[in-house]
């Protein structure tokens, strides 16, 4: 989540599914019903409706749709450190899309990361997460995809640098970073927790951004959800396991739900890539599913508490001058919305004081917000969000650095100072 300063009853669901299938209810314990219910999710009138819901949970539109073009018609560029990939056409067109595929072939692709022709897929397609998706859910998504109007559009070839254009190298990557297999529920946890884990680890593919990416484009399970810079996007996805960053262990469930589903909460606001996730995906999920995700995220092991660390602002005349300049800029440009005390006016004007996402090791997110401004996503529960104006056109690099340093170190915040060079480096990054 690019934070920036920024269930149905288990037994009832199981009974509904069994009844809909036209089978009698065998003698089983309530615990067994609860363990089965994690995979059921909301009940829909048709398989296509269910598949659409699951495709939204997987945020398929984000990669497979060029803004302004027909849905899922592909060819959206996906820049990577290794070159540019282009998402394929996944409409029901039989020639250029997936209209001639079978449900078996679609599940095999989701589950194994191999195309219909057996080719290894590049891991920009999050098959390392989608492998956890159940066959039942895969079939529903496939049926929905077959209902999407066909668009005849050839797939654009990838533009990868040598040697990364050699797919055989993916064998090594898969050996290191891919473990095939559907989600296995933790029987010591509730159906709600397991539902949340399934959505976060599987369709939501949250680890794609919130786990550090190494030079090979892979991530370690041991570092899952520990945060890192998102390659090529110049945003920092904070750690979900550290309460000094975006760890949610100390948050109320409602605040987590609001942030995911609405885009704003009393604690923070989403901008950047996470705003797109909320807009395209999370706002459409049921309250029960969003709550399940919140329950799971809140339970992630806390690697660090939010107890204040040492002040990282050096005690030098230069640092004092920067802090004073930052306070001047803040009072002139920021205080009217965020308050002189940094407490803001939640949920529309987020607090900056004691906001862990302001204090992260990387200052990329607050620098970008001061430079470029932005809006939280317009969602069904918050259709007219309040935005933040950009200041790139009226503040110098030194002023940007000073005000970001101020908000990272004022009011008891324990972030580090920012340099004018860091601010300058982010002036020219792409806005998408």
Fold classification of 317-425 (topology level) = Cytochrome Bc1 Complex; Chain D, domain 2 (1.10.760)
* Inter-CA distances, 22 with 47, 145, 339, Å: 16, 26, 60
Quick: pLDDT tens for 303-343.
655 555 566 676 788 889 999 999 999 999 999 999 999 99
Hey, what are 265's tokens?
Answer: 């909460």
* Inter-CA distances, 171 with 119, 120, 121, 223, 422, Å: 11, 8, 10, 22, 38
- Contact call for residues 236 and 2 (beta carbons, < 8 A): yes
What pLDDT does 26 receive?
Answer: 41
Quick: pLDDT tens for 253-281.
999 999 999 999 988 899 999 999 999 99
- Contact call for residues 83 and 165 (beta carbons, < 8 A): yes
The pTM assigned to this predicted structure is 0.86
CATH class of 190-299: mainly alpha
Quick: pLDDT tens for 100-139.
999 999 999 999 999 999 999 999 999 999 999 999 999 9
Angle, helices 103-112 vs 135-147, to 10°: value is 120
- Contact call for residues 90 and 155 (beta carbons, < 8 A): no
What pLDDT does 319 receive?
Answer: 86
- How is residue 216 annotated by DSSP? T
Q: Residue 74 and residue 66: Cα distance in Å, rounded?
A: 7
- Contact call for residues 55 and 114 (beta carbons, < 8 A): no
Counting every residue written for the chain, the total comes to 432
pLDDT category, 427, cuts 50, 70, 90? very high
Work out the percent of the chain whose per-residue pLDDT is above 90. Answer: 68
Whether residue 11 is predicted with pLDDT greater than 50 in this model: the reply is: no
Hey, what are 172's tokens?
Answer: 């090594």
Note whether 190-299 and 317-425 share their fold: yes
Q: Residue 381 and residue 290: Cα distance in Å, rounded?
A: 14
Q: Residue 314 and residue 419: Cα distance in Å, rounded?
A: 13
Closest CA to 367 of 410, 408, 400, 395: 400
Closest CA to 388 of 372, 399, 404, 377: 372
- Average pLDDT, whole number, for the chain? 87
What pLDDT does 161 receive?
Answer: 93
- List beta partners, residue 304: 242
The number of beta carbons lying within 10 Å of the beta carbon of residue 29 is 8
Sequence-separated (6 or more) residues with CB below 8 Å from residue 161: 82, 83
Q: Is 167 helix (H, G, I), strand (E, B) or coil?
A: helix
Is residue 306 packed enough to be buried (19+ CB in 10 Å), middle (13-18) or exposed (0-12)? middle
Is residue 155 packed enough to be buried (19+ CB in 10 Å), middle (13-18) or exposed (0-12)? middle
pLDDT category, 189, cuts 50, 70, 90? very high
Closest CA to 241 of 216, 266, 207, 285: 207
Work out the percent of the chain whose per-residue pLDDT is above 70. Answer: 88
Sequence ranges of the domains in the chain? 40-177, 190-299, 317-425
Q: Residue 384 and residue 263: Cα distance in Å, rounded?
A: 11
Q: Residue 91 and residue 110: Cα distance in Å, rounded?
A: 16
């Amino acid at each position: 989540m690019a934070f920036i300063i920024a269930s149905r009853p288990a037994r009832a669901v199981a009974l509904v599914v069994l009844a809909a299938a036209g089978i009698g209810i065998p003698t089983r314990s309530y615990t067994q019903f609860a363990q089965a219910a994690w995979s059921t999710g909301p009940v829909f009138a048709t398989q296509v409706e269910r598949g659409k819901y699951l495709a939204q949970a997987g945020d398929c539109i984000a990669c497979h749709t060029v803004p302004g073009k027909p849905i899922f018609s592909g060819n959206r560029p996906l820049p990577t450190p290794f070159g540019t990939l282009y998402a394929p056409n996944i409409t029901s067109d039989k020639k250029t899309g997936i209209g001639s595929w079978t449900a078996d072939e679609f599940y095999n692709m989701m589950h194994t990361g191999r195309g219909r022709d057996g080719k290894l897929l590049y891991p920009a397609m999050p098959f390392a997460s989608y492998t956890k998706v159940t066959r039942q859910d895969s079939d529903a998504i496939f049926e929905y995809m077959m209902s999407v109007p066909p668009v005849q559009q050839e797939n654009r070839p990838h533009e990868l640098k040598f040697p990364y254009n050699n797919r055989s190298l993916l064998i090594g990557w898969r050996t290191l970073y891919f473990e095939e297999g559907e989600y296995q529920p933790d029987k010591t946890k509730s159906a709600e927790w397991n539902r949340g884990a399934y959505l976060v680890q599987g369709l939501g593919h949250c680890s794609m951004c919130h786990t550090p990416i190494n030079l090979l484009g892979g991530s370690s399970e041991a570092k899952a959800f520990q945060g890192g810079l998102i390659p090529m996007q110049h945003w920092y996805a904070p750690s979900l396991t550290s309460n000094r960053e975006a760890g949610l262990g100390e948050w109320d469930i409602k605040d987590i739900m609001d942030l995911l589903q609405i885009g704003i909460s009393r604690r923070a606001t989403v901008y950047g890539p996470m705003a797109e996730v909320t807009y395209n995906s999370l706002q459409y999920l049921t309250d029960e599913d969003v709550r399940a995700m919140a329950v799971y995220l809140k339970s992630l092991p806390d690697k660090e508490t939010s107890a204040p660390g040492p002040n990282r602002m050096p005690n030098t005349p230069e640092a004092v001058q920067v802090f004073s300049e930052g306070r001047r800029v803040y009072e002139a440009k920021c205080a009217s919305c965020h308050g002189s005390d940094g407490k803001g006016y939640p949920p529309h004007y987020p607090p900056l004081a004691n906001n862990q996402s302001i204090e992260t090791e990387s200052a990329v997110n607050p620098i970008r917000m001061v430079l470029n401004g932005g809006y939280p996503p317009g969602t069904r529960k918050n259709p007219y969000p309040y935005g933040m104006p950009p200041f790139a056109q009226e503040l110098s690099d030194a002023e940007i650095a000073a005000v970001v340093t101020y908000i990272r170190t004022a009011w008891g915040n324990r972030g580090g100072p920012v340099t004018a060079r860091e601010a300058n480096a982010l002036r020219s990054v792409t806005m998408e």
